[in-house]
Amino acid sequence: MKCPYCHHEKTRVIDTSHDGRGGIRRRRVCVACDERFSTYERPILATPLLVKRDNTREEFSASKLAEGIRLACAKRSVAAADIERIVGEIEAELQMMGKAEVSSRIVGDKVIKRLKDLDQVAYIRYATVYLRLDDLDAIRNEIERLVSERQNSR
Question: Same domain for 26 and 99?
Answer: no
Question: Same domain for 76 and 97?
Answer: yes
pLDDT for residue 151:
83
Question: Same domain for 53 and 115?
Answer: yes
Question: Same domain for 147 and 129?
Answer: yes
Report angle CA 20, 22, 24 to the nearest 5 degrees.
100
Judged against a pLDDT cut of 90, whether residue 32 lies above it is answered with yes
Question: Same domain for 36 and 109?
Answer: no
Domain assignment of residue 18, given as a range: 11-41
Task: Determine which of 21-30, 39-48, 72-81, 121-130 has the lowest per-residue pLDDT on average.
Answer: 39-48
Asked if residue 110 belongs to a domain, the reply is yes
Q: How many domains does the chain have?
A: 2
pTM value?
A: 0.67
Question: Same domain for 133 and 73?
Answer: yes
Asked if residue 78 belongs to a domain, the reply is yes
Gap between the Cα atoms of 130 and 63, Å rounded? 18
pLDDT in tens, 82-129: 999 999 999 989 998 989 999 999 999 999 999 999 999 999 999 998
Question: Same domain for 61 and 36?
Answer: no
- The total number of residues shown for the chain amounts to 154
pLDDT for residue 18:
87
pLDDT for residue 45:
73
Question: Same domain for 35 and 18?
Answer: yes
Q: Mean pLDDT of all residues in the chain?
A: 91
Judged against a pLDDT cut of 90, whether residue 152 lies above it is answered with no
Question: Same domain for 99 and 135?
Answer: yes
Question: Same domain for 29 and 104?
Answer: no
pLDDT for residue 21:
65
pLDDT level of residue 46 (50, 70, 90 thresholds)? confident
Q: What whole-number percentage of the chain has pLDDT above 90?
A: 73
Question: Same domain for 36 and 54?
Answer: no
pLDDT for residue 89:
94
